[in-house]
């Protein structure tokens, strides 16, 4: 995946995280986001975003960061 594709994954992860902030519990919100990513993202997408988190992760929202860290 190129930089453009990575930027798209970051944007999508942040959008999913932003749409799940209504719960009020950051741990539960991150779990919901992680479940969504696990169900609907391809293995290669999850691997790319995990690699990004391990190398930098600075553009991910805090909830998105927690969610990506939970991915297998």
pLDDT at 21 (0 to 100): 86
pLDDT tens digit sequence for 29-64:
999 999 999 999 999 999 999 999 999 999 999 999
Polymer length in residues for the chain: 72
pLDDT tens digit sequence for 8-24:
999 999 999 999 988 88
Neighbouring CB atoms inside 10 A of 18's CB total: 13
> Are residues 55 and 6 in contact, defined by beta-carbon separation less than 8 angstroms?
no
Going by C-alpha positions, the residue among 36, 44, 42 that lies closest to residue 70 is 36
* Helix/strand/coil for 24: coil
The DSSP secondary-structure symbol of 71 reads -
Decide if pLDDT at 1 tops 70.
Answer: no
Q: What distances in angstroms separate CA 1 from CA 5, 15, 27, 46, one per listed residue?
A: 6, 20, 29, 12
What's this model's pTM, rounded to 2 decimal places?
A: 0.92
């Amino acid at each position: 995946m190129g930089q453009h594709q990575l930027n798209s994954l970051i944007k999508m992860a942040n959008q999913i995280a932003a749409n799940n902030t209504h719960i009020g519990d950051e741990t539960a919100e991150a779990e919901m986001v992680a479940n969504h990513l696990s169900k609907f993202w391809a293995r290669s997408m999850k691997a790319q975003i995990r690699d990004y988190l391990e190398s930098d992760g600075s553009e991910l929202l805090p909830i998105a960061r927690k969610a990506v860290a939970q991915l297998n």
